[in-house]
Each structure stands twice: as C-alpha cells, then as structure tokens.
Structure 1
Amino acid sequence: MARLAGRVMLLSGFPRALLAFFAGLLAVLAQPPFGIFAFAFVAFPILVWLLDGATGSPDGGFIRRLWPAAVVGWWFGFGYFLGGLWWLGNALLVEADEFAWALPLAVVGLPAFLALFYALATLIARLFWSDGVGRIAALALGFGLAEWLRSFLFTGFPWNAIGYAAMPMPLMMQSASVINLATVNMLAVFVFAAPALIATGRGSRIGLTIAVVLFAGHVGFGFYRLAQPAPASPEPPLAVRLVQPVIDQAKKLDDGERAAVFEEHLALTAVAPEKDGKRPDIVVWPETSIPFILTDNPDALARIAEVLDDDQILIAGAVRVEDAGAGLPPRYYNSIYMIDGRGQIIGAADKVHLVPFGEYLPFEDLLSSWGLSSVAASMPGGFTAAKNRSLLTLPSGRTLYPLVCYEAIFPDEIDGAARRADVLLNVTNDAWFGDTPGPRQHFHQAQLRAVETGTPLVRAANSGISAIVDARGVLMVGLSYNYRGVVDTLLPGRMPTPLDDAMRSRVFWLGAIFLLLVAVFSRFGFNIRKN
C-alpha cells in the first residue's frame, strides 16, 4: 500500500485531477441507491494521498502554495456532485421545449459550483497539513466546516452530505439521535480517511485506533438503541393511510387531465382496508396532489366529503392562493391542506424554504429581463415563501410538523417544535426526477430527520418513496418507487433524544476545536520540538 500511496502522491497535472475526479465518483457509491459505505474507505485515502503531493511552490505566495490542494478538492467535489446529482436534469425534460436549454447548468453547472465547497475543505486542510495523523484531523475539520457552510449559504443545499454515507441503514443511523449531521460529517471523514495512515504518516497507530473506536461506537450504539423496545403507538391509536398515485408529471401539468388526476387520488382514498384492517383516521396525499386551486372549486370539496367518513381527515398537498391587495398580483404558496369529512378546510401550512429556480427566480428583476423563468413560471412571480412554519393540529389535539418536499433535507431548519410534535409530515412529488437515484436519496435524508428528532415520519410521495418510519428510522410500511397503491398502519410513538439542538451545535464546535488543536499540534508542534 505504501507503493500505491507513493505513486498517487507523485501524480501531477491532468492525471492528478483525473484521479481526484474518479475518487469523487467512487465516493458517490456510498450514497443511495447503492449505500455501499466501503467505497468511502477507498475514496478518501486516495484524496489524502493526492493532497500529500499537492504542494505548491515554496517560493510562491499564500494562494500559490495552497492552490494545488484547492484544485484537487474541486475535482474530487466535481466528481462527487456530478455523479450524485446528474438526475436533476430530468426535471427540465418534463417541459423540454421550454427548459431543455438549462440542462448543462443543472447537470454540470451546479456540481461545478458545489465543488467549490470541497475546494475550500481541502484548502483549509492544507493550511495545517502534516505527515501524520494531524492531516486526517485537518481534512475532517475542512470538510466539517465546508459541509456546515453548504447547509445554509446561498439558501443552502446540503444534499448528499458526506455524513449520510456513514448512515446507510437504521443500525448506523442512531448516532444522529445524539449528535447533529454537521458533527457526523466531520467524524465520518476522519474515519473514512484513516486507512491512508496504513501507508503513510506518523501516528498511524493512534489515528487508526481512534477511527476503529469511533466506528465501533457508531455501530455498537446502533445495536443498543435498536434493541430497546420499539416506540409504542399512542392511545388512542391513529390509523394512517398513504396514497401513492404514480401520476406522470406531464399529465399533472395538462389542464385537460386535472379532473382525472383528482379522481385517481379519490379512488385510492376509497379503497377498503385489508382484511381485519382498521379504517384510516387520516389519509395523506402527496405534494400538489390537488391539481387546481381548491378554494375556487367547491365541487371538489364536496367530492372529498363524499369519499371521506365524517370523522376522517384528508391531508393533501395543494397550491394555495392569497389576495395581495392594492391591485397586486395574487400570491401563490406550495401548501398542505387539512380537510375534514364534511369537506371543510380546517388547517393549512405553507412551504417556508423554496427551491431556487424551481419555485421562484432569484434576482427576479434582473434574470427575468434576460428571458429566464422558474420551472413554476405558470404561477405569476413563482411561489411565495411562508414567513414561519405552521404546525397542523388534528381535531384530536395531535400535532403534525409539516415539511414540503426538499425542506426535509435541512436538519438545522427543523426547530424544537419538531421534538414536541407527534409526527413529522413530509409530502413530496419526486416524479419530476423519474426513476433515478434522486427519490432514493431524498427518502434517505428524510428518514434521518426522524432519528434526529425522535419523531415518527409520515411521508407521501406521488411516485415514491412513500413510507411511515418510526422514531428510530426503522421502516414500518412503505411503497417502493413507481408502485401505485395505498398502505395503512398505526402511527408509532415518539422516542426521547439525549441532547437538544443547542447542545448538539456546541458539540459540533467543540469537535471542530479539538480537530483544529490536533492538526495545529501535528503541523507545528513537532517542528518546535525538532528545533
């Protein structure tokens, strides 16, 4: 292995960039739909060895000394994000005549931009680089800070954060009940990169020992927590039905098909429970499942009342319109409605975190003057973001914490109310992205929100993956991608988590400071002793 490490370190120019790119591609295989975390134990040692050889001219300035390391990080990130996000282009093909021109921006441009965060990660790491375990600590610190910044800068897009690779299944998700994703990102990089010490570096024994202990503790805690009794259904039990209609997105956008789309949802809602099954108390439809403005269609509310029993509740995604007044155009919201068995709207919650270019156009005045529009351009001005997240309260008093579509990928935006709610409710429409890794990655990230908050997740998706997940991230029932149908089960209960959000944040910064101290001592401490 030392010989392999040496050959990697000696690479330069295009071969070094190409290997960094392929290492990033390899790391993607640790994410859904593959979830083979072993590949990360190959990708990150390669990155370490590439950075070992990415030394700038000692006579150059600060930027020139660090530039080669930043370039390696960028190529690694470009491979990682290109391999992990290429499926975003599918959304632009739904209305290809209008948006196909933007394919290169979505498929290549976004990965190229996101790769800048990993360039920053390796630049930070190179500042404290040494020939020992300290460089593994420096790399973990760099990626931890870069992923933290990626979670909120430019509205944030923490999709496929490195930490998810260390949590491919419920057994390996339980650490998220104690520490936040930002901390998992840091520790995961340390563990994934540690095998590089076998071939090179001072302090390999202590570094590998720490990595083994972290990994064993990660898995061992998972065994312990899953061995505890499963969260019991609260009394009185609440039966939930998920409706997965699998309706092609082009059909949903066709004005002539809207009534048929609505009736398909109603037909699935009316399906009788399986033998001896409990009639559902709540029926959940996916995001924008009502394909018209519901408040403009009283007949639609009457049809819902015909299908529901008096004491049943329908929760459905829909577009909500609001009069802006003073001659201004109306405001449109991507919303969730709660409708009772009499066809009355008894609650609503609007999406807070909108998708840039998908649901609204950033810098609208400037970009619209260039002829650009959002994918939701059928709504004048696109969608409007809600100022605050509103919980949905059932007539029984139980509360639902709403997450519309990709809001479920932002753990830091899920506030303490989620830990007091009875359910995390995620409605989505991943049909935009087809049968690609996208819907699997989205479900995996939503699944982790249940573990982090100790709150069961109810997730309805147009084409999949719809599921009910308990507070430990364990799948109770679900419908696979492109399977049309319904699934019923009793809602599981909550499970306490040891630390609140503020304490988890402190743990992250304490971990970052510790890694910084290790890296600094390794980088400068030994030089002082030598002198």
Structure 2
Amino acid sequence: MFNLLLGAASALALPPVGLTGILWLTLPLLLARLGARPVRGRAAYGALLDGFLFGFGYYCAGLYWITNAILTRVDQFWWAVPLATPLCAVPLAVVLALPCALAMLAPSGWRRVAAFAGLWTLSDLAREFLFTGFPWNPLGSSWEWPGRAGDIMIQPAAWVGVPGLTLLTLLAALLPTLGRRGIAGSLVLLALWAGAGTLRLGTIRPVGAPGPVVLLVQGNIPESEKLDHDTAVQTFRKYLALTAGGAAQAGARARSSGRAMVFTWPESAFPGLLDEDAQARAVIMAQAPGASAGLIGSVRFGADERPRNSMVALRPDGGIAALYDKAHLVPFGEYQPAGLPFQVVPGGGFAAGPGPRTLRLPGLAPFGTLICYEVIFPGRVVQPGDRPGWLLNITNDAWYGDSAGPHQHLQSARMRAVEEGLPLARAANTGISAAFDGFGRRLGELGWGRSGSLDVALPPPLPPTLFARHGLWVPLLMALLCILGLKLPGRTRRITRSAGDPTALSSQV
C-alpha cells in the first residue's frame, strides 16, 4: 500500500499541479524500498510488485480524467466507469515494474542510481510503441511550469527530448541518496540545467520568414451537444459567427505585417462531412475574406467507405486544397484493436492515415498537422526529410471536462514546439487553445470553457534542434550509457585475518 501511495503522490509533479520537488522525496523512498530486498529467486517477485504498485498509483492518479470520457455516455458504458482508469494503468505499471526490478541487479551506490534512471527511461521510450503507443505523463513533463521558470527548464528538450528530461530528472532526484557528494551533484546538475536553458533562450535566433497570423476558433461545444444531431445547425452557426467576429482583426493584423492569414477550427468541429458539402465550404470561407486558407476539423469517408478523422484545408473559393487524416488513432475510442472477442467500437472505428505530412498551400508557409493526441509522441510529429515552418494541433478535449487531462495535453503540445524548434498553434473545442513559439513560450491562450477566437502572429522557426535531427536516438543513447552501471565492476572488500595476530583484521580493496 505504501508504494501505491508513493506513486500517487508522485503524480503531483505533473501538470497542472507541477509540484516537481515531491520527486526528491518519493523517488528515493521507492529506490530504498526496492533495494531493501534481493532480486534473485522468489524475492525478485517482491521487487516487481513494489515497482508495479508504484506505477499503478502513479498512472491511476495521473490519468483519473479518462473516466470523464465514459461519463459522457454513461447510459451505455456505466459498467466501465470504475474500470477505465485502472485498466489503462495496469499495462503501464507493468512496463515500469520491469526496470524497477532490473535496476537492483546493479551494485548499490551511483551504479544503481544510473541504472535505475536509464532503465526507467527505456521503459518510457517503450511506451511510445507498446500497446499502440501511449507516452503520456513522463516525469520530464513535470518541468512544464508556466512563465519564465518553466521556459528555462524545458529548453534542454531541444537536445534530448522529453525522454531525456525524464532521465535527468531521475538522476537529479536520486543523487542525494549518495550522501553529501550526491547532494552536491544534484545541485550542480540542476544549475547546469537552468544555465543551459537560459543560454539557449538568449542565444538561439529564428531563421527564415515569419509564420502566418493564425485565427484560433474555440466553439466550446459540450460533448453531449456534439453527439446530438439536432444541434448540428446551431453548432455550425456558432463557429461561423466566431470566425466572422475574429477574422476582421486577424486580417487587419496580417495586412499590417505583410503576412498571410489563416483560420482553424478544432478536431471534428464541422458537424457533417465537409469534403462532400461544397455549399458549407463556401459559406465558411465567406466569413473570413482575405484568408489564405481555412483549416477545418471534420470526419470524412474514404474510397473504402471507412471514416477518417481529418483536417480539411480550404482554398479562398471554398475548394479543397489538401487533406490530412489522423494516423495515430486512439484504441477503443477510434478503432478496435484486433483479436478482441467482443465489439467495443461500432463498425471497427476509423481508418488511419499514412502519418506526418508537410502540407504546402498557396501563400502559406509549409506546416504539419497533428490531430488530438498525435501531439504527445516526441520525435514523431514531423514528416522525415521535409521540415515544416510551423505546426498545427487541432483537438477536442471536451470528453475530459475541466480536469487535468486538457492541461497535460496542452503541455505536451508545448514540449513538441521546443523539441522541434517550431512554432505551434493549437485549436481546441472547449479549450485550451493556445500558441507557442519554438522555445515553448506562450504567445496567447483561450482558457478552458470559453467561446471565442484568438489571433496569433507566429514567429519564424528556430534552426533544427539536435532532437529534431536525431529524435529518440538521443535519449536512447543516454539511457544505454547509464545502464552500463549494471556491468561495470563494483568495489568489493575482502577481509582476512593476519597470520601474526588472529584478532587483527586487514582489508584489501
């Protein structure tokens, strides 16, 4: 039970609470409890159980908001209310339990600390791919504080990504367990961390032309209304009115700065099949005269008659300039994993798109689109070999209410901007809509539960970062170097009796 509570308390480090310092208490306690028992033979199960309970507490507390999605259809899925979060937490806890046990194979001291940090980081990297991928709430995200302090502490993600920040966080929190030298090492690491972040903010300069003026439209449509076909017309009219209300100011700002202007609606904001409705497309573009494009979230059907969760890019005349289909679908929400003996998602769900793409529209800087939780995957948000000038994230977080979920999702988007060195604009149905520059600094925000529009002038991109060039290979190499502690020889002390004095002891190291 104590390990369960330690894990739950560690979740306080995550957004929106951001109590990062609690990790300096919970992680050393976890390591001490793991090291209190051997890992060979039957006792190995004890270390696995300790790690599992910690992970289960951590992920249950950090993902409690998943239950909110069930409540929107509680009449159908009432039975899943007590199960949703724990069932998500179980496989994630299993992934964490393995490194917790394996790290105990390293000699105690700095080798164990390094091996623990490296193995934990490997488990986080595995979460990018296992169970279709769900790298939500890494410890590295605990530094995503608002304001200048957070801007400084997240800058090293440009070199090592969020998985690398997780490794550095583990080292900084666990070094004090090694005594005075460890405490000094932790302080030095944090000082270097903050210094590197400050230096990056002060020395890196943008390259290329500035981005467009982006009008983010936030309709604040409750999920219950989105599911009700009778309110479709009202929803459409609301988005039209918000677009028209913000387009005049956004257009004037664009003209005064010599930039293009574009507006965007969130994921599935259009209550119909936009690619099949030429009249609706023309009406939408008429609300924003002078706009280079309208980027609209909508469902569409492909040639195989399966639905896609899409972004439809409209030309000024209402024609379709480009399409982007969401590639990373949510299991049990958007598609049914193969092999299940029962049906959960009607019709098998959505079809997946081909992956990240850089879209080029006339008069607009190239951009990449990320729909909903595609933005949570570090190193996998940009088309390889074709770097865009900015990123667009459209999402609908209405499912999760005013919980920690939308805040954690927003901070994931912020971190992708830092990792790639690219400005990012985010349109969310019920919030939080926002925009960030390539340093992850906030350019503007529409808070949760508000209807409105926000125009933001995106700055130029930054030079490609180390992480943008090499992706997950960087934190992977860092983790593997730490895991070398499992193989390096430790210091052993051999004590023997002296031949001349049976009571005297001599030691050799």
TM-score by length of 1: 0.86
Task: Report the residue type matching 2:105 in the other structure.
Answer: L
What displacement does 1:505 show? Answer: 4.2
Counterpart AA for 1:219? A
- Check the 8 A contact 2:214/2:457 in 1, yes or no: yes
CA distance in 2: counterparts of 1:428 and 1:254, whole angstroms: 19
2:117–2:482: 8 Å Cα contact kept in structure 1? yes
Q: 2:281 aligns with which of 292, 301, 305?
A: 301
Counterpart contact for 1:456–1:468, Cα < 8 Å: yes
Deviations 1:282-327 (A, max 9, x none): 0011000111111333331232133231544110111111122xxx
Match of 1:385 among 352, 363, 368: 352
| Larger CA deviation: 44-53 vs 472-481 | 44-53
The gaps in structure 1 that reach 5 residues or longer are 1-17, 57-61, 199-203, 325-329
Distance 2:330 2:143 in 1: 27
Work out the CA distance in 2 between the residues paired with 1:530 and 1:259. Answer: 84
CA separation in 2, counterparts of 1:284 and 1:63?
58
Partner of 1:211: 186
| Structure 1 vs Structure 2 CA RMSD | 2.3
1:431-467 CA distance string (max 9 Å, x none): 0100000000001011100000011001100011111
Aligned-residue offset at 1:126? 1.2
Shift of 1:274: 4.8
2:174 is matched with 193
Question: What's 2:427 paired with?
Answer: 460
Which whole-Å deviations, capped at 9, do the CAs of 1:133-161 have from their partners, x for residues lacking one? 22211211221111111121121111001
Match of 1:255 in 2: 229
Which whole-Å CA distance do the structure 2 matches of 1:311 and 1:265 have between them? 16
SS of match in other structure, 1:104: coil
What is the Cα deviation at residue 508 of structure 1? 2.8
User: C-alpha distance in 2, partners of 1:460/1:499?
Assistant: 28
1:266 match: 240
Alignment partner of 1:342 out of 317, 322, 336: 317
Maintained 8 Å contact 1:419/1:453: no
**Counterpart contact for 1:452–1:497, Cα < 8 Å:** no
Aligned to 2:115: 138
Deviates more, 1:310-319 or 1:478-487: 310-319
Paired residue secondary structure (1:493): coil
Query: Structure 2 residue aligned with 1:320, among 300, 309, 321?
Result: 300
Counterparts of 2:369 and 2:435 in 1: how far apart (Å)?
Answer: 14
Match of 1:493 among 452, 457, 460: 460
1:526 to 2:509 alignment: no
User: For 1:179, which of 114, 138, 160 is the aligned residue?
Assistant: 160
1:527: how far off? 5.8
In the alignment, the residues of structure 2 paired with residue 314 and residue 186 of structure 1 have an alpha-carbon distance, to the nearest angstrom, of 41
Report if the CA contact (8 A) 1:339-1:346 is conserved.
Answer: yes
Q: Displacement of 1:390 after TM fit? A: 2.9
Question: Structure 1 residues 295 and 511 mapped into 2: Cα distance closer, same or farther (>3 Å)?
Answer: closer
Deviation at 1:87, TM superposition (A): 0.5
Partner of residue 78, structure 1 = 56
SS at match of 2:82: helix
Partner in structure 2 of residue 444 of structure 1: 411
Letter in structure 2 aligned against 1:339: L
Q: Displacement, 1:509?
A: 3.8
Give the match's secondary structure for 1:318.
Answer: strand
Alignment of 1:93-242 (within 5 A): 93-130=71-108, 132-168=109-145, 169-198=150-179, 205=181, 207-228=182-203, 231=206, 234=209, 238-242=212-216
In the superposition, relative to structure 1, how do residues 262 and 129 fare at CA in structure 2: closer, same or farther (>3 Å)?
farther
C-alpha contact 2:358 2:382 (8 A) present in aligned 1:
no
Aligned counterparts of 1:165 and 1:77: Cα–Cα separation in 2? 16
Q: Which runs of 5+ in 2 are unaligned?
A: 495-506
Stretch of structure 1 that moved more, 395-404 or 467-476: 395-404
Which residue of the other structure, out of 254, 263, 268, is the alignment partner of 1:283?
Answer: 263
Match of 1:9 in 2: none
Letter in 2 for 1:160: N
Tell me by how many angstroms 1:46 deviates: 1.1
- The answer on 1:373 being equivalent to 2:344 is yes
Number of corresponding residues: 487
**1:421 corresponds to:** 388
Q: Name the SS for the 1:435 alignment partner.
A: coil
* d(CA) in 1 for partners of 2:105, 2:350: 43
CA distance in 2, matches of 1:262, 1:355: 26
Note the alpha carbon deviations across 1:321-364, whole angstroms, 9 max, x for none. 1122xxxxx1111110111221111111111110000000112x
User: CA offset at residue 517 of structure 1?
Assistant: 2.8
Partner SS for 2:379:
helix
Residues 244, 286 of structure 1: 8 Å contact kept: yes
Superposed, which structure 2 residues align to 1:500-519 within 5 Å? 501=468, 503=470, 505-519=472-486
Moved more, 292-301 or 144-153: 292-301
C-alpha contact (below 8 Å) 2:437/2:459 kept by paired residues: yes
Query: Residue 75 and residue 530 in structure 1: after superposition, are their counterparts in 2 closer, same or farther (change >3 A)?
Result: farther
> Structure 2 residue aligned with 1:352, among 304, 327, 338?
327
- Equivalent residues of 1:123, 1:142 under 8 A apart: no
Q: In structure 1, how many angstroms separate the alpha carbons of the residues matched to 2:164 and 2:190?
A: 14
Counterpart CA distance in 2 for 1:72 and 1:290 is 48
| Cross-structure match for 2:499 | none
Q: Take 2:84 and 2:37, find their aligned partners in 1: how far apart are those partners?
A: 30
Offset at residue 128 of structure 1 (A):
1.3
Give the direction of change, closer, same or farther, for the CA distance of 1:505–1:390 in structure 2 (3 Å limit).
Answer: closer
Shift of 1:86: 0.8
Query: Could you tell me how far apart the structure 1 residues matched to 2:268 and 2:374 are?
Result: 15
Q: 1:294 to 1:530 in 2, by over 3 A?
A: farther
Q: Could you tell me whether the CA contact under 8 Å between 1:141 and 1:186 is conserved in 2?
A: yes
Quote the offset at 1:510 in angstroms.
Answer: 3.5
- Aligned equivalents of 2:42 and 2:475: distance in 1? 31
Q: Compared with structure 1, are the counterparts of its residues 76 and 194 closer, same or farther at alpha carbon in structure 2 (3 Å cutoff)?
A: same
Q: What does 1:399-418 align with in structure 2 at a 5 Å threshold?
A: 399-415=366-382, 417=384
Percent identity between the two aligned chains? 35
Equivalent position amino acid for 1:389 in 2: P
Q: Which amino acid aligns with 2:458?
A: L
Structure 2 Cα separation of the partners of residues 344 and 401 of structure 1: 20
Aligned 8 A contact 1:349 1:391 in 2: no
Pick one of 436, 439, 461 that aligns with 1:472.
Answer: 439
Bigger Cα displacement from structure 2, 270-279 vs 447-456: 270-279
Give the Cα–Cα distance (whole angstroms) in 2 for the partners of residues 288 and 464 of structure 1: 14
CA distance in 1, matches of 2:493, 2:475: 29
8 Å contact 1:419–1:455 — kept in the other structure? no
Corresponding residue for residue 19 of structure 1: 2
Question: Match for residue 43 of structure 1?
Answer: 26
SS in 2 for 1:521: coil
SS in 2 for 1:402: strand
